[in-house]
Amino acid sequence: MELNTIVKSICEKYPGSILKETDHHGIHEITVAGQSFYEVMKTLQGDEKFGFDMLTDVVGIDRMPRSPRFDVLYLLLSSKDFTRLSVRLETDEGQQVPSVSNIWHSANWGEREMFDLLGISFSNHPDLRRILTWEEFEGHPLRKDFPLEGKDFNKPFDPTTIKDYC
Amino acid sequence: MGLENQLVGDNVLVTSLTKLVNWGRSNSVWPCTFGLACCALEMIASTLADFDISRFGSEVFRPSPRQSDLIIVAGTLSKKMSVMVKRIYDQMADPKWVIAMGACASCGGIFQSYAVVQGVDQIIPVDVYIPGCPPRPEAVLAGLMKVQEKIRTEKLDQRPDVKSGTLR
């Protein structure tokens, strides 16, 4: 499916929802406004016309000096005609992104990873906990302002600080 | 004169208990089946026919920490995994020895990061460090021989468990 067709149909249904559209070497990308993000995603998955039934990956990007600070990318695939579409959403610290994990179940862990490593918060997520680091971990390691070595690097590590497993 | 002279020719060997125990222990050091990263592959290679760790009595990689004498920490130890390594070490029966295999297990290696323990000696007491990234199987064997050397020179009453009175 052509990018123009997708953009046109979405814009008819939700006017003003698409802020930007790009097409780099056949990779379609749309930037969606925050307030209509969830509805657009639901349409992309549920509408027969699009049928993006597979969420292949979820990406979070920290663009620190910029405001809003974060980019959230959802990479969609339609198994009908194998069109790929990436949906971008710009968000800032303290803002909540509506979770799409009840649309695509594969978003569950991807969003948890973004929450863990970048500190992006999601609303309506069924199980928003850290997934890679442990509960007591301080900070979000993939943020640009996170020191690579983390906290207390020079002190010997005490495994009892990881309470999840003790 | 003396017991030795009386027994010559009767296939009897007289030795001290320490020597006998150490001889037995050093020639049957059973490692734990346990690996963390690429070093584990070299550890496995050292058990295969080319290098054959069984020449030193250590071919029996035990699937249970209760049955093993040696833990070869082979690979990068992440902070999340450190809890399990500590638990495996605690579950091993005394006497027990530890080899830190490779740069990561010895000092964190190239991973100077928030997620990696900078050397397993922060978690458990290490007897022998093997350098390399990863060390070749020959180096693993050399490390094992160092452990054997250490066991052979050990005095029974100087073991930490004997000294602290926890030995039963």
CA B88 – CA B34 distance, rounded (Å): 9
The set of residues, in sequence order, having a beta carbon less than 8 Å from that of A41 and lying 6+ positions away, is: A32, A74, A87, A100, A103
The set of residues, in sequence order, having a beta carbon less than 8 Å from that of B13 and lying 6+ positions away, is: none
Q: What is the mean pLDDT of chain B?
A: 87
Is residue A27 over pLDDT 60?
yes
φ, ψ at A56 (rounded to 5°):
-85, -35
Task: Give the range among A50-54, B14-18, B76-80, B137-141 with minimum mean pLDDT.
Answer: B14-18
Predicted TM-score (pTM) of the model is 0.82
Put simply, the answer to whether A150 touches B82 (Cβ < 8 Å) is no
Is residue B1 over pLDDT 80?
no
Put simply, the answer to whether A134 touches B80 (Cβ < 8 Å) is yes
Mean pLDDT of B141-155: 92
| Separation in Å, CA A80 to CA A28, A101, B152 | 16, 21, 70
Q: What is the mean pLDDT of chain A?
A: 88
Residue B137 is predicted with a pLDDT of 94
Chain A residue numbers with beta carbons less than 8 Å from the beta carbon of B123 are 157, 159
Q: How many CB atoms lie within 10 A of CB A73?
A: 16
- What is the torsion angle, in degrees rounded to the nearest 10, for the CA atoms of residue A20, residue A3, residue A54 and residue A120? -10
The amino acid that residue B134 corresponds to is P
Domains of chain A, earliest start first: 3-132 (3.30.460.80)
Put simply, the answer to whether B115 touches A166 (Cβ < 8 Å) is no
Angle CA B16–B17–B19, to nearest 5? 70
Q: Which of A158, A154, A152 is nearest to B123 (CA)?
A: A158
| Substitution target from A133, A165, A166 for chain B, most B beta carbons within 10 A | A165
Beta bridge partners of B116: B78
Residue B103 is predicted with a pLDDT of 93
User: Could you give the percent of chain B with pLDDT greater than 70?
Assistant: 91
Residue A164: both structure tokens together: 């999840």
Chain A residue numbers with beta carbons less than 8 Å from the beta carbon of B108 are none
The set of residues, in sequence order, having a beta carbon less than 8 Å from that of B165 and lying 6+ positions away, is: none
What does A81-129 look like in DSSP terms, one character per residue? T--EEEEEEEE-TT-EEEP-TTT-TTHHHHHHHHHHHH--EEET-TT--
Cα dihedral sign for B6, B11, B17, B19?
positive
Cα dihedral sign for A121, A126, A132, A137?
positive
Residue B66 is predicted with a pLDDT of 92
Residue A156 is predicted with a pLDDT of 86
DSSP state of B151: H
pLDDT one-digit tens code per residue, B85-107: 999 999 998 888 999 999 999 99
CA B30 – CA B66 distance, rounded (Å): 11
User: Could you give the percent of chain A with pLDDT greater than 70?
Assistant: 98
DSSP state of B62: B
Domains of chain B, earliest start first: 30-153 (3.40.50.12280)
Burial B16-34 (b: 16+ CB within 10 A, else e): eeeeeebeebbeebebbbb
Residue B7 is predicted with a pLDDT of 67
- Inform me whether the C-beta atom of residue B101 falls under 8 Å from chain A C-beta atoms: no
ipTM of the assembly?
A: 0.76
The set of residues, in sequence order, having a beta carbon less than 8 Å from that of B54 and lying 6+ positions away, is: B47
Q: Which of B134, B103, B108, B130 is nearest to B119 (CA)?
A: B108
Angle CA B135–B140–B146, to nearest 5? 125
Is residue A160 over pLDDT 80?
yes
User: Could you give the percent of chain A with pLDDT greater than 90?
Assistant: 43
Is residue B168 over pLDDT 70?
no
Residue B4 is predicted with a pLDDT of 64
Is residue A164 over pLDDT 80?
no
- Inform me whether the C-beta atom of residue B122 falls under 8 Å from chain A C-beta atoms: yes
Residue A136 is predicted with a pLDDT of 85
Interface of A with B (CB under 8 A): 133-134, 141, 146-151, 153, 156-157, 159, 162, 165-166
Residue A165 is predicted with a pLDDT of 65
Band of pLDDT at residue B166, cut at 50, 70 and 90: low
Residue B97: both structure tokens together: 């020895």
Minimum-distance CB partner of A149 among B86, B114, B117: B114
pLDDT one-digit tens code per residue, A56-73: 999 999 998 998 999 999
